[in-house]
Amino acid sequence: MSVSPLLLYFDDESDSAHRLAQAARLSCQAIERHRFPDGEIKLRLPEPLPERIVLFRSLAQPNEKLIELMLAVSGARGQGVSHITLVAPYLAYMRQDMAFTPGEVISQLSVGKFLAGLFDALITVDPHLHRVSTLQQAVPVKQAITLSGAPLLADLIAEKRPGAILVGPDEESAQWIAQAAKRHGSEQAVCRKVRLGDRQVTIALPEQSFQDRAVVLLDDVASSGHTLAQAGRLLLAAGAKSVDVAVTHALFAGDAIQIIQEAGIQQIWSTDCIAHPSNAISMAPALASALGQLNIPS
């Protein structure tokens, strides 16, 4: 009889990992971590490990975490682990998917190959894929499953703001807007965005009436907050009764929350793919279901 996989996690993601373990009915244990004065990291894995493990690591603030993954997988393989699944609710470095200027490194390609060299399977949520059609093209593991937070965000919006118009802050958000709007037959619209830099964008609203309507800006990721803030100001100027924000990945770097709130946006809702005070939806049941769909050799 095959033994169930063990879920491994790092202590800074204990709550999320335990929610997943409970939903998937898996045992879970923390990876011990020590930092030397020079910044190097030492890990200690539980012993013994089963032949199959699940490693939980959401890759916001990813640089150090990628080193952690490399060390953890090396140690696990050294203990004889034959199959390792990475559950990364947020998958970093997917946005840099082409060279926009000569000599620019395509980070998606580099990090994707790095992860594929470590793991046998990958489960993630709303990866930022726009110039490739599948997750496996970006991360060529044997098995890859992509989930979306849009349907669950749509359920929350239907409860909190019934009848709201769902608006995407830019063209790239159209796929999530379509998913969410279909869920409850919501009215939808998508803005046009021109990015002038990391913190400089211009937004144009679609030709549509927002007068006296509740509006929810919905997107896969919120980082600097400038795009959402600018869209929110324009919507309120166009007569919107209220503007709220719903996102899958709550990066919210620096003063992003303040910028969004100062624009007149009321509520901010997110999934727990990245731990944040705005978390309103747990992805644990969906992630657990995805783990059950993996075809893992016994």
Tell me the HSE value of 161 on the side-chain side, using a 13 A CA sphere. Answer: 24
Q: List CB contacts of 117: < 8 A, sequence separation 6 or more.
A: none
| Confidence band for 1, pLDDT divided at 50, 70 and 90 | very low
Give pLDDT tens digits for 239-267.
Answer: 999 999 999 999 998 999 999 999 999 99
* pLDDT for the residue 182: 92
H-assigned helices in 130-248: 135-138, 150-160, 174-184, 226-237
* pLDDT for the residue 3: 65
49-76 mean pLDDT: 97
Rounded to an integer, what is the distance from CA 9 to the centroid of its chain? Answer: 17
Cβ–Cβ contacts within 10 Å for residue 190, how many?
20
Cβ–Cβ contacts within 10 Å for residue 2, how many?
10
Beta strands of the chain (E only): which ranges? 6-10, 27-35, 41-44, 52-56, 83-88, 121-125, 143-147, 165-168, 188-190, 192-197, 200-204, 214-222, 242-250, 268-271, 279-281
Q: Which residues are known to be catalytic? A: 193
Q: Is the pLDDT of residue 221 over 80?
A: yes
Partnered with residue 279 across adjacent β-strands are: 270
Q: What are the structural domains, with CATH classification, of the chain?
A: 6-148+283-293 (3.40.50.2020), 150-280 (3.40.50.2020)
> Is the pLDDT higher at 203 or at 234?
234
86-105 mean pLDDT: 89
* pLDDT cut 90: percent of the chain above it: 79
* pLDDT for the residue 97: 78
Tell me the HSE value of 76 on the side-chain side, using a 13 A CA sphere. Answer: 28
